[in-house]
Amino acid sequence: MLINNVITAVSCNCYVRICLTTDVDLLLLHMNNARYVRELDFARFDFFKRTGLLNKIKSKGGGVVQGGNSIRYRKFIRPFTIYQIKSKILYWDDQNIYMEHRFVTPNDDFVRAIAFGKHRIMNCNANDVMIELITENGKLTEETYLKPSLPLELAKWIESNEISSSNLRNGL
């Protein structure tokens, strides 16, 4: 299911997977916590390729690295359960793109886990990349598309990361 059709940078991408026996914990009851983060890498790559975001960053001589990730587990995913990872960009600034990823089981539409990701854009301006990507299809212009406001939950997560960085710099 990797890299199907093209989507816009402001769309929600749906990456479909199934929990296999190689994905579960030692008791074989549910998907291992580390597997969620691993699956995020695949979903994120799929999103970056399908939106053209990765190509746009590379065309500007830039790169992208994972700057942070936080996941909250709500309800387990049992073996042989089909699930979706719904990924979308929530916000961006000059250096970073912030995404949300939801692990959803389609049979009950329940969000099993939710994750935030901070993606640091290297050697180019993330805001410029996003504006170019959003406006290049001609349907949206810089004037008709408003950058999303920073959601409170994400703002608090960013603040928490900044406090942690400050503590580490100060030897705490």
**How does DSSP assign 71-122, residue by residue?**
EEE-S---TT-EEEEEEEEEEE-SSEEEEEEEEEETTTTEEEEEEEEEEEEE
Instruction: Please state the rounded mean pLDDT for residues 13-20.
Output: 95
* Average model confidence (pLDDT) across the chain: 91
Q: Is the pLDDT of residue 71 over 90?
A: yes
- Does residue 115 contact residue 72 with C-beta atoms inside 8 Å? yes
Chain-centroid distance, C-alpha 42: 10
Indicate the pTM of the whole model: 0.89
Q: Give the residue with greater pLDDT, 9 vs 29.
A: 29
- Give CA–CA dist 87/100, Å, rounded: 6
Instruction: Please state the rounded mean pLDDT for residues 115-127.
Output: 97
Distances (CA, A) of 115 to 69, 107, 126, 172: 7, 21, 21, 26
> Domains in the chain, start-ordered, CATH in brackets?
13-166 (3.10.129.10)
The SS3 assignment for 63 reads strand
Torsion over CA: 21, 50, 109, 160 (sign): positive
Q: Is the pLDDT of residue 6 over 70?
A: no
Confidence of residue 11 (pLDDT cuts 50, 70, 90): confident
Q: For residue 79, give both structure tokens.
A: 């073996």
